[in-house]
Amino acid sequence: MSTDNTAAELKLALDMLEKEKEISRDVLFDAIEGSLLKACANHFGKSDNFKVEMDRETCEYHVYLQKEVVMEVSDPATQISKAEAKEDNPKVKVGDIVDIEVQSKEFGRIAAQNAKSYILQMIREKERDAIYSQYVGKQRSVVSGIVQRRVGENLTINLGKTDAILNENEQVKSENLRPNDRVKVYVLEVKKTEKGSARILVSRTHKDLVKCLFESEVAEIQDGTVEIKAIVREPGSRSKIAVWSNNPDVDAVGACVGVNSSRVNSVVDELRGEKVDIVNWDENPGRMIENALSPARIVAVFADPETNIAKVVVPDDQLSLAIGLKGQNARLAAKLTNYKIDIKDETQAKDAPGFRYEDYMFDDDEEEYDEEYEGEYAEDGEYDEEYVDEAVADAEEADAADPDDADGEE
């Protein structure tokens, strides 16, 4: 039987463990009851006929040895004579099972130490299980952590209750993360090791890190008004995201940018200066490609959905902007739209056989579009050169009529 002091101390310890380790009280009680049975087994050689009763409010506990009442005892460990049993209960009869309370001090010092070790082991196991359950539910989401130390080329990130691993190939090359730096990381995978602890792999390069950061910053994304339809990323340098509003009164790009660019700047700060382009998503592949090539101005687009090849014409002074530094803008636009994009300026387009050059390639009515341009392909799949010449002539006429527009000025 536990004393009042023992029960009070035990209750205090359980309250602390439940709060700090987030292990349920029932689990802790099961661990204690199991440890007492283990102590019985260590001390008496067996625990089959022992039982533990524990008050889960006061933490008082009792350990009982259960024995069968017999006329003549042949196994003292499991039997008690009727005469002896009657001393405590005059109404007992042969065949009854009686409970004989065992004082825990009888277990001895070694048994008590073994019980303590068992409790600690159970608590560690349950703590590992709790951590695993907590973080396995956070896979494919973003968590905050603090850089702890570098192990070889990898970094360990402290998440509060456990550490995560940021492998070298999940680190942004341009970032110089140091111990005590606070960062947000994308949880790639959570799995159990052979010892039962959680092994958490995180990333700073995954494109969904950007997606999750916008989800946390933009209320319209959280409530479903705005959707992120596509996202591509070159970690540490630039990302492009295509967004769509389910409410015609809500500007998807404006919602993601925020007042005075507050929302997008929060994301950029967390990405340590990585540029983020936010464009409108469009079902029309021509418009989508035009948007994806932002900030470049586009003269014409022809997108072939059968081959996923798009031909784009830009003003002469916009070619480098459309392509981007080392081809980055065009490369990201191609990934965002899933189209292979061939970009030419107006001068190049005039000398490119088969390149379709048209100012009105974004008609919402697809049927009208198909009818208008039906038959303008040559049999070999190239564009009708006569049509191209006419289109180029029309464009030159338009440029001559509006020279400011031809120079890209508004």
* Last residue of one domain, picked from the residues 111, 135, 159: 135
Total structural domains in the chain?
A: 4
56 and 44 part of one domain: yes
CATH number at residue 199: 2.40.50.140
* Residue 326 domain-assigned (yes or no): no
Report yes or no: 66 and 80 within 8 Å, Cβ to Cβ: no
Q: In this structure, which amino acid lies at residue 323?
A: I
Bond preceding residue 179 cis, omega within 30 of 0:
no
* Residue 63 domain-assigned (yes or no): yes
Instruction: Tell me the CB-side half-sphere exposure of residue 66, using CA atoms within 13 A.
Output: 11
303 and 408 part of one domain: yes
131 and 8 part of one domain: yes
In this prediction, residue 109 carries a pLDDT of: 61
* Residue 143 domain-assigned (yes or no): no
User: Left if phi > 0, otherwise alpha if psi is -120 to 50, otherwise beta: which for 37?
Assistant: alpha
CATH number at residue 247: 3.30.300.20
Span 290-315, pLDDT tens digits:
999 999 999 989 899 999 999 899 99
* Residue 47 domain-assigned (yes or no): yes
In this prediction, residue 5 carries a pLDDT of: 64
130 and 19 part of one domain: yes
* Last residue of one domain, picked from the residues 159, 184, 204: 204
272 and 198 part of one domain: no
User: What does the alpha-carbon distance between residue 97 and residue 77 come to, in Å, rounded to a whole number?
Assistant: 13
410 and 306 part of one domain: yes
Structural tokens at position 298:
């586009």
10 and 122 part of one domain: yes
378 and 306 part of one domain: yes
CATH number at residue 39: 3.30.1480.10
DSSP 380: T
191 and 217 part of one domain: no
Report yes or no: 383 and 356 within 8 Å, Cβ to Cβ: yes
64 and 126 part of one domain: yes
Distances in Å between the alpha carbon of 138 and those of 144, 162, 190?
Answer: 12, 14, 9
* Last residue of one domain, picked from the residues 161, 184, 204: 204
177 and 213 part of one domain: no
* Strand pairing class (97-102; 238-245): unpaired
Report yes or no: 31 and 106 within 8 Å, Cβ to Cβ: no
* Residue 67 domain-assigned (yes or no): yes
* Residue 29 domain-assigned (yes or no): yes
Q: Which residues in the chain show pLDDT less than 70? A: 1-7, 21-22, 104-116, 118, 352-410
* Residue 325 domain-assigned (yes or no): no
Domain carrying residue 162: 148-204
* Residue 290 domain-assigned (yes or no): no
* Strand pairing class (198-203; 182-192): antiparallel
198 and 84 part of one domain: no
